[in-house]
Each structure stands twice: as C-alpha cells, then as structure tokens.
C-alpha cells in the first residue's frame, strides 16, 4: 500500500468522524442524564458522610454529567441544515478558545485568591473535569445563543 492510499483512507475516516452526530432524540436523554447527575451530586454532597465513599460517588457523578453534556452537544437538531452546521462549528471554535484561555488564566486567579485569603502561594493546575465542563458548557451555551439570535 502506498503513502497516498494511506492518506486517502485516513482522510475518509476523519471525514466520517467529523460528521458524526447522534439522532435528535438523544438530546433529551443527554439532558436527563445531566440533570439527574447534577441532582445526585448535590444529594451526595449533603447526605453521604463517609469521605472515601463520597469522593468516589462524586467522581462518578461528575463524569456522568460530562457524558450527558457530550450527548447533548453531539445530538442533531430537528432540522440539521448548513446554517445549523455553521452555528455548531462557530460554537465549537468559541468554546475551544474560551476553554484554553480559562485553563491558562484560572491557576493565576486561584493563586491570587489563595494569597489574599490564606496567605498561600502555590500555583495549582486546573483539573480535567473543569476543563471539559467549560468546553462542553460553552459549546452548548453559544450554540443556543447563536441559534436563538438567528430566529429574531
């Protein structure tokens, strides 16, 4: 197999992956999963007293929330046309930029707040949940803002 055939095959696979979307009915499933996880997160924080059990449940619930948001993000609209695809791509682009900026700036904000409140001075990286939360939340938020702005 020559190099051009390998590149063509990989390009075809990437094209399939970039067009992947879930059917519209999955959007409701994603929202239900997200809301149930959010409620479970709050309930776990209030009800569970064992620290090791609480931390395990919270990790599972947080990642379930992210899966719910990912399902919402990947679900099609009832009418999926070029305009909706354009809005979707712009929302992903803005979410990526906001996520990167947030990841770069947040450790310094936390450092300043920690220095003011506790007198501490340790620079801590942003955790993976926070980065993914910002990316998915911003994408869904901007997608709906752009879509509702287009209806006016």
- Where do the H-state alpha helices sit in the chain? 3-18, 25-47, 51-74, 82-117, 128-151
Q: According to the model, what pLDDT value does residue 151 have? A: 64
For residue 69, the model assigns a pLDDT of: 96
**136-151 pLDDT per residue, tens:** 999 999 999 999 887 6
Six-digit token string for 6: 């390998």
pLDDT tens digits for range 16-38: 777 788 999 999 999 999 999 99
Distance CA 148, CA 135 (A): 20
Q: Which residues contact 65 (CB under 8 A, 6 or more apart)?
A: 33, 34, 37, 38, 41, 133
Q: Which residues of the chain have pLDDT under 70?
A: 1, 151-152
Return the pLDDT at 152.
58
């Amino acid at each position: 197999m020559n190099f051009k055939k390998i590149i063509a095959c990989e390009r075809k696979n990437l094209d399939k992956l970039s067009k992947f979307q879930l059917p519209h009915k999955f959007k409701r499933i994603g929202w239900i999963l997200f809301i149930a996880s959010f409620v479970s997160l709050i309930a776990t924080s209030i009800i569970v007293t064992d620290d090791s059990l609480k931390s395990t449940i919270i990790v599972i619930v947080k990642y379930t929330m992210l899966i719910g948001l990912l399902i919402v993000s990947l679900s099609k609209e009832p009418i999926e046309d070029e305009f909706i695809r354009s809005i979707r791509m712009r929302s992903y682009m803005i979410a990526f930029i906001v996520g990167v900026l947030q990841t770069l700036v947040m450790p310094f904000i936390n450092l300043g707040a920690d220095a003011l409140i506790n007198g501490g001075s340790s620079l801590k990286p942003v955790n993976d949940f926070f980065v993914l939360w910002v990316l998915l939340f911003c994408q869904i938020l901007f997608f709906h803002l752009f879509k509702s702005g287009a209806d006016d």
